[in-house]
Structures are given as structure tokens and as C-alpha cells.
Amino acid sequence: MSAIWMLEPEYEAMERERLERLVLERMRRTLATVLRHPRWARRLGSVRPDDLDRVEDWRRLPLLTKPELRDAYPFGFACGDGYRRVHMSSGTTGNPILNPYTERDVRQWGDVMARCYVAAGVTRDDIIQITPSFGLFTGGFGFHYGAERLGAMVVPAGAGRTALQLRLMRDLGATVLTAIATYPLRLVEVARQEGFDLSSLALRIGIFGSEMWSDGLRARIERDLGIRTYDIIGMTETGGPGLGIDCQARIGIHVWEDHYHPEIVDPVSGEVLPDGVEGELVISTLTREGLPLVRYRTHDLTRVVSRERCECGRTSLRLDRLRGRTDDMVIVKGVNFYPAQIEAVVMRQAGVSHEYRIVLESDGGGGEGLSIEVEVEPGCDPGIAERIRHEVYDLLALSPEVRLCPFGSIERREGKTVRVVDRRAVR
Ligand SMILES: [Zn+2]
């Protein structure tokens, strides 16, 4: 592998034993901080920082849920003082979740984002175009602070205006694209509509996150844009993107364990699962001041891939790419699946566009129907409908109706992409 270096090797490549001692020390400090606040003290009960003898003792603390954070709106679980900023989660129902940042939180965010850039092979000589929005959503600012910390040139384009994005990218020689995971597809589509030559771009690296994107979608983006992509994770509650990223070895996503403590739990029982077993990601923050998290349930599904030193030299634990969310699970005719599983089947086919939709309907007789709408290129082999149906059947034992539709016919939306349309009657 070429050009392996790290922003903070003293942490990123720290021996596991020392790393665990550091994590334990930071856990005790986090616990001491939150216990000074009545709301936290009430829910954490009688446990004291000195009761933590080993990292595993952290499991004795109760899990924190999204509804609890919502109910604490605006700042019920906040522990800092001297706030400089607030960001907000993009939830659609109930109170939003706010995360207030102290000055040190803003700096911490820049530090972990800069680590992510370096893990992806970005240097200060790069020109980084930032396409997530700058505002309450965490994406834009996180990529911005990381780039500043690194010392690279930033094009803070923000969201939308795709034709202008392409033009700026070309004329300013952007080498790095940062985006919500499905936005590159929009770029490719607009380039095609406008007759824009994608080979005129100098892009070499893409850093994408905030949505599930299957390996199939990833391969497609890499091919169409001629770049190498990196999967970045993180959410508003944890302080935005920057929790971790996959490295050049691409064998799992490194989590910056000196800042965040990940656990994988059984989504039903809440018990911690052994490495390798898929479950729900639970995150605790170890260095955040404004909104520290103690065992926060993220609803994201993944597993621990490895705690061994990676080819890239980093020792931080690696998670699998996120496979779905516990709350995205679709149940049709008693079969559970995640939209990403269908996406992987669709994206494998030649001649399909990147747009597809999973439609759930009542069949009129009290049963349920599953159909998949797939956009195809002109002249595409109509046999792919049957291939998709067959492959979905092999995977899930469900036999969907597959409808091929012309390119451009599925509605595009700004922001996060809607993949599942549920038209079933509410029972
Ligand atoms: Zn690595």
C-alpha cells in the first residue's frame, strides 16, 4: 500500500493495552462529568467512576435511547458550559435532537475529521469540494473543520445546484468530493443530461456517508466518477461525521476509540454480542463536553470485524459497513429484510440506473405485495426483471413484481433518498 501515514499515530496506532487504559480513564472522567447533572444522575443510579475497574464494566450502565434524548429537548442531557454552536438531527417526527458544542467540541470535531481525511489519503495539497449543507445538519461544517485542520483548500459549495457544482469542480480542479452517499449519483446524472464530460474532472477521492450505500452502489460510483471512495460514519448525536472511516485497506471502518467507545448489542435484549455477530451499534463518547453520550443506541446494524492491527498500521477497532437500521427493517409476508439487501441485487445488474424503489402494497385480499421499480437505460435487456425477481427469491424467499421503468421516471428529491414506499393499509 502506498503513502500510509496518520494524523495522530500516537493514538491511531496505540498498542491495544495502552489504548484500553486510556479508554477506561476517559470513561471514568465522562461518568464523573455526567453524574454532576441531575437528569443523568437519576438514570445512572448508584454507579460511581471508581466502580469501573475494566472497560467491560461500562456494560453495567443503562442504554440511552433516542426518545429519551428527544424528551430532553432542548438541552436536558447537556453538560457543557460556554456553548459556541448547536446542530440538530434531521428526524421527521417529535422533538428534534439538539447537540450543543463547546469550543473544545468544535476542535475535537475538526481533529477527528482531519484524521478521517488522512486515512482516506487526502493531503494539504488537495482541493476539497464540500457538498453537504452548511447549517443545522452536521455534514458541511464537519468536513470544513477537518479540511481546515489539515490545511487543505476548501470549496464550501453546500447542497444543491448540481450543474454549478460540476462546473466549479472542473474549473477549480477539485480532487476530493465529500457528500451524502447518494449525491454522487445525482452528479453523474446531471452530467449526462448536460453533456458534461466527467473525464474533465481531477477528482481522485470521494468521502461519503450519512446514508446506507451498498457495496454495489459503491462500485458504481467509483466506476462512473473514476475515484476511490471512503465510507465515513457518525451522526448528530455523536457530534457529526468523523466517528470513523474505512482506510485504504478497506477491511472495515476504523472507529477512533480514544474519542468513542463502540459496542454491539442484541437489538432486543440489549446484551453485548461477541465480535463478528451483527447487532445494533451503541456509542459512548469519551471526549465530548456539550452532549456526552453514555451507551447511546444508534439503531445502526453492524458487527465488529477486527480488533487486530490493520494493514494500514492502525490498531483501532474496525466495524463492518453499516448494513441497515433497526428501524428500517421491512417485514413483508412475515419475512424481515433491509432495503440495502435489495439494493445489492439491483446494482449488480448491467443496464440499470442507480434509481430504484421498493413499493409495499396491500393486494386487496388481505395479503401484501412487494414490488421493485427499477429504472433502466434505453435498450436494456428486458430479461433483467426476471433475473432480479429470481435473485430476490433466492435471497429472501419472496417473489416480488419487478417493474422496469424508463430512465428519469422515479422522482428525485433533494437530501436523503427515499427507497421504500409503504402503501399498505394501516391495520
Ligand atoms: Zn486500516
Measured in Å, residue 313 CA sits from the centre of ligand 1 at: 6
Measured in Å, residue 272 CA sits from the centre of ligand 1 at: 24
Cβ atoms of residues 128 and 155 within 8 Å: yes
Measured in Å, residue 340 CA sits from the centre of ligand 1 at: 24
Would you place residue 3 in the very low, low, confident or very high pLDDT band (cuts 50, 70, 90)? very low
Is 286 within a domain?
yes
* Listed residues 327, 354, 371: the one ending a domain: 327
Measured in Å, residue 249 CA sits from the centre of ligand 1 at: 5
* Listed residues 270, 304, 327: the one ending a domain: 327
Same structural domain, 379 and 302: no
State residue 384's pLDDT score: 92
Same structural domain, 321 and 374: no
Same structural domain, 334 and 187: no
Residue 362 has pLDDT above 80, yes or no: yes
Is 15 within a domain?
no
Measured in Å, residue 309 CA sits from the centre of ligand 1 at: 8
Would you place residue 257 in the very low, low, confident or very high pLDDT band (cuts 50, 70, 90)? very high
Q: How far apart are CA 96 and CA 91, in angstroms?
A: 6
Query: Across all residues in the chain, what is the average pLDDT?
Result: 93
State residue 327's pLDDT score: 79
State the DSSP string of 90-119.
--SSSSPPEEEEEHHHHHHHHHHHHHHHHH
Label residues 396-412 b or e (16+ Cβ within 10 Å = b).
bebebebebeeeeebee
Nearest Cα neighbor of 65 from 293, 319, 272 is: 293
* Listed residues 327, 359, 380: the one ending a domain: 327
Is 12 within a domain?
no
Measured in Å, residue 117 CA sits from the centre of ligand 1 at: 13
State residue 357's pLDDT score: 93
Residue 209 has pLDDT above 50, yes or no: yes
Same structural domain, 276 and 339: no
Query: What mean pLDDT is predicted for residues 271-283?
Result: 97
Same structural domain, 295 and 345: no
Would you place residue 238 in the very low, low, confident or very high pLDDT band (cuts 50, 70, 90)? very high
Same structural domain, 244 and 115: yes
CATH number at residue 368: 3.30.300.30
Q: How far apart are CA 300 and CA 210, in angstroms?
A: 11
Which residues, including other chains, have CB under 8 Å from residue 116's CB and lie 6 or more apart? Answer: 146, 207, 230, 232, 241, 242, 244, 245
State residue 1's pLDDT score: 42
pLDDT tens-digit readout, 60-84: 999 999 999 999 999 999 999 899 9
Measured in Å, residue 248 CA sits from the centre of ligand 1 at: 6
CATH number at residue 289: 3.40.50.12780
State residue 210's pLDDT score: 87
Is 50 within a domain?
no
Q: How far apart are CA 207 and CA 130, in angstroms?
A: 10
Percent over 70 (pLDDT), the chain: 97
State residue 302's pLDDT score: 96
Is 239 within a domain?
yes
Q: How far apart are CA 15 and CA 307, in angstroms?
A: 11
Same structural domain, 391 and 402: yes
Measured in Å, residue 384 CA sits from the centre of ligand 1 at: 37
Same structural domain, 289 and 152: yes
Cβ atoms of residues 395 and 341 within 8 Å: yes
- Which range has the top average pLDDT, 36-50, 102-116, 379-393? 102-116
Percent over 90 (pLDDT), the chain: 77
Same structural domain, 387 and 319: no
Would you place residue 91 in the very low, low, confident or very high pLDDT band (cuts 50, 70, 90)? low
Number of domains in the chain: 2
Is 16 within a domain?
no
What are the DSSP E strand ranges found in 266-388? 279-285, 296-302, 304-306, 318-319, 324-325, 330-332, 335-337, 352-362, 368-376
Query: What mean pLDDT is predicted for residues 229-238?
Result: 97
pLDDT tens-digit readout, 331-355: 898 888 888 889 889 988 888 888 8
Q: Which domain holds residue 412?
A: 329-422
Same structural domain, 188 and 256: yes
pLDDT tens-digit readout, 297-308: 999 999 999 999
Measured in Å, residue 300 CA sits from the centre of ligand 1 at: 21
Q: How far apart are CA 99 and CA 348, in angstroms?
A: 39
Is 98 within a domain?
yes
Same structural domain, 203 and 174: yes
Residue 90 has pLDDT above 70, yes or no: no
Residue 2 has pLDDT above 60, yes or no: no
Question: Residue 265 is inside which H or E element, if any?
Answer: strand 260-265
Is 122 within a domain?
yes
Same structural domain, 271 and 405: no
pTM of the model: 0.88
